[in-house]
Chain A
Amino acid sequence: MKKIAIAILMAALVAGCQTTSTTAPVEDKSGTSATPGAGTPGASTSGTTAGGVQGSSTGANPLRDPNNILSKRSVYFEFDSFTVADQYKPIVEAHARYLTQNRNARVTLQGHADERGSREYNIALGQKRADAVKRMMTLMGVQEVIVETVSFGKEKPRNMGHDEAAWAENRRVDILYAGE
């Protein structure tokens, strides 16, 4: 009961900021953002509302629809950080809602770390990030059993570079749905 209350509360919070929420361009720390005027948060929301999640009367898969926030699959982390930054919360919340509404959906949260340091310790760091995203989802009412958290450590960098911008892209959690 308490969980549901929290879920409703959080959903309300999400809905409240939906129109201004950022879609959190993944490139925003790498300096290669395709969106001009980087630094204006919420620059490209393009009407991605909660309604889009449930609507889909056209039969389009909301998870694949580039205009749907559910197509955003990566949450990025600051150096040595394991908390979901505000700008990525709408993404996590949208997926959490989708998971509560689509009971057959199963998701894997894949944690990643930047290239610095021990490979095994980085597996644990990526795991800690994936667990942080999972915790946020379960607080919103997502069943624990449908979310598996795993880590690739530093083994699968998204950006092969060796600078701060590349590392920022590699400290992330990727959201993958079963069957994808």
Chain B
Amino acid sequence: MLRSLRLAFTVVTLLFLPFAARAQLTIEIVGGAGTAIPIAIVPFGGEASFPLGISGIVGADLARSGMFRLIGTDNVNPRPVRAEDVQSDVWRGRGADAVVVGSMQTLADGRVEVRFALMDVVKQSLLTAMTYTVTPAQFRLTAHRIADVIYEKLTGDRGVFSTRIAYITKAGARYQLLVADADGAEPQTIVTSNEPLLSPRWSPDGSRIAYVSFEQKKPVVYVQNLGTGGRQAVANFRGSNSAPAWSPDGRRLAVTLTKDGGSQLYVMNADGSNAQRVMTSNAIDTEAHFTPDGAALLFTSDRGGGPQIYRLNLGSGAVERLTFDGSYNVSPRPTPDGKGFVFVRRDGNRFMIASQDYATRQVQVLTSGPSDESPSVAPNSKLILYANESGGRGILAAVSSDGRVKQRLVSAGTDVREPAWGPYAN
């Protein structure tokens, strides 16, 4: 936290999209990495004939990540379109370490050929060049994929620009569960209810979302198919049914049920059949999440007095307490890289996002609160999406796993909460 506070916060507002879609999230960077990579994204050849280009979205993605700094491309004549056109000394003179060039050309069948090349102008070498043949409806996804490739080539980590996120909005007494691109574009409502919605969780293949709905005046767990819109109440037992979490193979769900008394952990098939209690305690056990290998559940329990995070080995039944520092540590989310977990900790009256490494047990507090909650880790383990409050309204925010890059996802007029980062699109 201290380190992040010491950063100079430069506020860069990137309105990378027109205000067309309603309730769309726009992302602002409120703190950047210490060493952003200077990169020039040259407008693609032929791009001007398409209303929604490619290079602008690529640049916005990279800039928003906080890992890149965009270098101006004005007044470069002739404008390079292919890798061999790039004059390294010109771009070095502008301070760029990398240059992206590309082109868009309509083919005979109406589809569009999108080419791009990424040059390292320091080493004067071609890092990658790719060609995509797509329909105009796929421009946005193509741009995100190109940004993913560039991000991976230059940072070593897989990009998550082409992934999707889910979140819940509340406007008056109207709750909605939405799915959008990772940059907030193209929001689609998948559930609307007059009662609260909670805890959306993506299936590992991204085809379904499990969530909690109170439309029956009690918490019931549903699984909804994003392709068909069809859904099924998978946990609707007597009492409360909540906190769904997918097994890594997508075949099972961990849930918290109270049907046998108290909030206890169960694992069931994804269709709701064969709910088996995985542990018996006389305390609260909830918020279970599978570890990436599927062998254990991390969960929150007050068995030691206040809420702390524990790990249940599903094979042996052994339970190990993981958090010791502080009196309130909740909402564990194992990171996909298997190295540790992200959670919410309370310090005084402040709720903050923190991470803990399994091996070193070292805790790093990533945010400053005061009301940060519901963390969700990106599939590359490098970014954490979470909810907090600003001006009395729920908003979403993101922080990099090292705490350096901070983003705010702003939506006009509605409360936004309960973010869930979807898996890689493949």
Contacts and interface: CB of A to CB of B under 8 A. Distances in A.
Interface of A: 108, 110, 116-121, 123-125, 127-128, 131, 148-153, 155-156
Interface centre among A124, A127, A149 (most CB of B within 10 A): A124
B262 A131 contact: yes
Given A123-B242, A123-B243, A124-B263, A118 B219 contact: no
B258 interface: yes
A107 to B, nearest CB: 13
Interface string B213-240: 0100111000000000000000000111
B198 to A, nearest CB: 6
Given A123-B243, A155-B196, A118 B330 contact: yes
Nearest to A125: B284
Contacts of A155: 196, 198, 214
Contacts of B286: 120-121, 123-124
Given A120-B287, A149-B239, A149-B240, 13 more contacts: A116-B349, A117-B344, A118-B287, A118-B374, A119-B418, A120-B199, A120-B256, A121-B287, A121-B307, A127-B240, A153-B198, A153-B219, A156-B196
B239 A119 contact: no
Chain A interface main SS type: mixed
A149 B196 contact: no
Contact of B374 (A119, A127, A149, A150): A119
Contacts of A108: 217-218
Contacts of A128: 262-263, 284
Contacts of B239: 127, 148-150
B340 to A, nearest CB: 19
A156 B196 CA distance: 8
A116 B346 CA distance: 10
Nearest to A148: B238
The 10 closest A-B CB pairs, nearest first, are A150-B218, A155-B196, A124-B263, A118-B330, A124-B284, A124-B286, A120-B243, A120-B287, A118-B331, A151-B240
A123 B105 CA distance: 55
A119 B198 CA distance: 8
B353 to A, nearest CB: 12
Contacts of A123: 198, 219, 240, 242-243, 256, 263, 286
B300 interface: yes
A152 to B, nearest CB: 7
Given A123-B243, A149-B258, A152-B214, A116 B287 contact: no
